[in-house]
Amino acid sequence: MPVKQDSSSLNFLAFLAHGLDEVNGPGRRKYSESSLAKADKLQARTLDSLAYILVGQESSQVVAVGALLPPKGSSETAITLVVSENDSVLDSTSSHLNHVLGLLRVIHDYPPTKAEDIRIEDFERKGEATDYVRQFITLETALIKYCAPKLDKRYRKDSRNTNFTDSLADLFGLPAHERDDLTQTQRDSLKAFQAAAHMVTRSDGRPWLQHGARASHSAARYLSQNLLSGDADVPERIRSALHSLHSAKKVLDQLKHLEFRIFWNAYIKNVLRWLSKATAICEHYGNVARIATTPSLASAFFSRGFKTKFLRNPMASRQVSFFVDRPTVRQVLSSVGVPLEHEDEQRINDFIVRLANSQTADITGDHQLEVTTHIPVHCECNVLKAIHSKPAVSYIGVSELSCAFCAIYFDAYREVTGERTYTRGTHDQTTDWACASLVEDDSRSGINLKDFLETDTRIRASVCKQLRGKIARGWNVYVASPRNSQSTSASEQSPGRSGNEEKADDDWENPDYAE
């Protein structure tokens, strides 16, 4: 049976705040990055990358990773990786992590007499690699194979892979003034784009347009066709294509090429942002591989040993019911300081109707709505409560940016406890969410329950205050624009192509194009 939520509960307040966001139309994501100056940047990057490479599902999977340290004065020397998901931890997640850690141990334990110096960010082909370098290639291809479903989804989002290849073909295609299929505005954008491209150079001084752009084009087309292929020889070629695109990203990221990036974005929006996301696996692989090669990380993981702990999510299989009617909404709005007039009765009725539409639920009686749903304790909050009061790295890696509710919870936790524990940041949007509780973890032993209850109560009071403020702001937005429809954005369409489609080739595999 679903658990009914009281209208004053934090979960109900979060439900209502999220409902207002949905009805008002979700705004653009606002990326707010936490200050890594307060956390060890190497540890932070490592935990973020471990979380990232544990996502193997196409959608609806978020993973968080924390690290417990050995207690001071204890004979215990091993660190413990603490892993949680928004749902129950999948068997594939735990087995993949253990597999990755096993591959890292092989690299770490490789006989020093045979281990040459390696720059992890450099790409080396398997056929030309030494046995030592092949261990790194084995690790990277294992990550790519496991993450392929999610990589493919990121790659194809809003058809930006097609926008990328189309705009590159336009770059080295007909001059802009010969493109009769474009509007004058598009021709002007293409002209500036083509002119700026001639100024882009690689680190070796060679022009990128002649020694890289076509390779990026063919690599992107290969990935579009083969990311989910199960053929035995494909993962190595996918790795090669990803590195080709990542090399292009590193070239274009240079400050001296800012003008070119601006003109490209004016011609086709968000292509370069897509390029960063599409090749992020290359950087995350590098961060994970450094566990075996960086002395401080290698010592922590292998010299002193490590353990893994996969957390149960207390809300993973629990359904809850939220009951919404006019008196309940009015009571909440009054409690958050919203002055209500007689005409607000109709506004509340309209809000309940639109909330029902966003939840695909039916209204019964006099604007009464009951929503039965699944609200998870988000994985970063679950890890935070698991490491509370224990020696731990003051950072929790998450496979994606935290939601606005998690940011509120972490703010409250830092305010109450004084512990400077962070995640990478927040996208400032809301989703289904349940508030964590420090006293729900039945695996704790020997804790001071009174202290835990007091801390938990103060955290929840702070969260409650911030949720009430968010509801008040959301209602003000709703009143100011009561008929504001949920925003939608059409997938960006690229301008028409010039002439014939160039045949896909293997330019990215030509050593002459390696950055």
Does residue 254 sit in helix, strand or coil?
coil
pLDDT at residue 35, as a whole number: 58
Q: What is the pLDDT of residues 31-40, one digit of tens each?
A: 666 655 455 8
Evaluate whether residue 21 is within a structural domain: no
For range 168-183, the mean pLDDT: 95
Q: Which residue has the tokens 């209602």?
A: 475
Rounded mean pLDDT, 128-143: 90
d(CA 165, CA 271): 10
446: pLDDT strictly greater than 60 = no
Structural domain tally of the chain? 1
Instruction: Give the residue among 149, 92, 125, 120 at the shortest CA–CA distance from 233.
Output: 125
The pLDDT assigned to 114 comes to 62
pTM: 0.88
- Residue 317 inside a domain? The answer is no
What is the C-alpha separation between 45 and 112, in angstroms, rounded? 26
Q: 118 to each of 204, 287, 331, 390, 447, how far by Cα in Å?
A: 20, 14, 64, 36, 46
Instruction: Please check whether residue 259 lies inside any domain of the structure.
Output: yes
The tens digit of pLDDT for each residue in 97-108 reads 999 999 999 999
- The one-letter amino acid at 35: S
Residue type, 99: H
Asked if the structure places residue 167 within a domain, the reply is yes
Q: Which of 429, 447, 457 is nearest to 20 (CA)?
A: 429
The two beta strands, 368-374 and 363-364, are: antiparallel
Residue 370, domain member (yes or no): no
Per the structure, the complete domain to which residue 158 belongs is given by: 103-296
pLDDT at 330 over 50: yes
Max avg pLDDT among 209-213, 247-251, 363-367, 407-411: 407-411
What are the φ/ψ torsions at residue 485 (nearest 5 degrees)? Answer: -85, 155
Strands 319-324 and 3-4, how do they pair?
Answer: parallel
Q: Domain for residue 188, yes or no?
A: yes
Does residue 496 surpass a pLDDT of 60?
Answer: no
Residue 322 to residue 7: CA distance in whole angstroms? 8
Supply the pLDDT for residue 498: 40
Q: Would 272 be classed as within a structural domain?
A: yes
* Summary mean pLDDT of the chain: 87
Assess if residue 139 is contained within a domain: yes
**Residue 71: both structure tokens together:** 């207690």
Predicted confidence at residue 204, as pLDDT, reads: 82
